[in-house]
Amino acid sequence: MAFPVRTNVKRLFRFIQTFNSPERFLCTEVCPENKKPPGSSRVFSGIQPTGVPHLGNYLGALENWVSLQDQYPSVLYSIVDLHSITQPQDPALLRSHIRDMAASLLACGIDPEKAVLFQQSQVPEHVELSWILGCLTSMPRLRHLPQWKMKSKQKSEGSVGLYTYPVLQAADILLYKSTHVPVGEDQVQHLELAQDLARIFNHHYGDLFPEPRALLSSTRKVKSLRDPSAKMSKSDSQKMATITITDSPEDIALKIRRAVTDFTSEVTFDPETRPGVSNLVTIHAAVAAVSVEEAVAAARGLDTAAYKGLVSEAVIQRLTPIREEIERLRSDPAHLERLLAEGTLKARELAAPVLAQVRHRVGFC
């Protein structure tokens, strides 16, 4: 099938529907340059389907995602299931986790009318662009990335997928000509790889990709409730260490009550010398939408035990509507799958013309 010379909606949908047929590789015409207005902005970010997010995910990323969909004209959020299989996954559990993540994102405030919400593996353009960019990436460049160093040490050896997933991450971003990417500090070097690959591709084949810029969250990292030297994580072996956004009020209160603090009763904010108490202050300030100073002021006259009760109430108040909405959405998996399918169609409408340009410039058609 030839790539269309003029891309209108009907022809693009016909192209998408027949994308997986062998004829698609017999491209003899060139897709026109993307007609996106110069200087326009597009946000892209992705999250792995690891079930429901925890409090740190919500405060550090998802809250920001909700804000960004009102600030930028074009926003895409992907459930990046291709990335998730760098670690062994149970297929049935992965399917369930994809739906749970979709429900969680919607419950947190992601609006499919404002942002394109889609499942990464259902947009095969990601994989093809990843291969092309991988051929422009050196092995030493990947070896120096922090995630590979950390995870390969943990497993004594890592898979090829784990080694090359930053290239797929770059493809995720560049495929939509994204200009801005919300990231945590631990992902900045991976975004730099995407910037480098945009420059390298543009140098070899002519300007096509903008260099995406990082949007760093101003929210402090939420730490483990049992080990405030480490960030909160769902993979933590200690169940009391992590609050998920679907935890019951009773579970939230119990986990915060058992949070590690110290032997000083006064509530102060000093992450270096009092990391446990400071973590509670960070959580309190974030869920109550106040400054750290205001959170400390609210704790005046309370000892740490009483303050834990105050923090629990604030977290419960913030998460209860989200938990209830997730439960409602989970009860209708067909609705979730339909929303993801609609988002995937929108994502492919954007991705297909860009990949057509890439294929032509590389010399495939």
Residues recognised as catalytic = 151, 231, 234
Q: For residue 122, count other CB atoms closer than 10 A to its CB.
A: 18
- The angle formed by the CA atoms of residues 208, 173 and 219, to the nearest 5 degrees, is 135
Region at 303 (left for phi over 0; alpha for psi -120 to 50; beta for the rest): beta
The full 3-state SS of 237-248, as one line of letters, equals: CCHHHCCECCCC
Give the residue among 57, 180, 173 at the shortest CA–CA distance from 108: 57
User: Position 175: which residue type?
Assistant: L
Give the residue among 351, 361, 365, 359 at the shortest CA–CA distance from 126: 351
What is the spatial order of strands in the sheet that 180-183 belongs to?
116-119, 74-79, 42-47, 180-183, 213-216
Query: What's CA 273's distance to the chain center, in Å?
Result: 32
> Coil, strand or helix: which one is 44?
strand
Rounded CA separation 281/123 (Å):
41
Give the residue among 148, 167, 146, 165 at the shortest CA–CA distance from 157: 148
Rounded CA separation 19/236 (Å):
41
Please state, in angstroms and as integers, the Cα–Cα distance from residue 197 to each residue in 86, 175, 189, 357, following that order: 22, 12, 12, 16
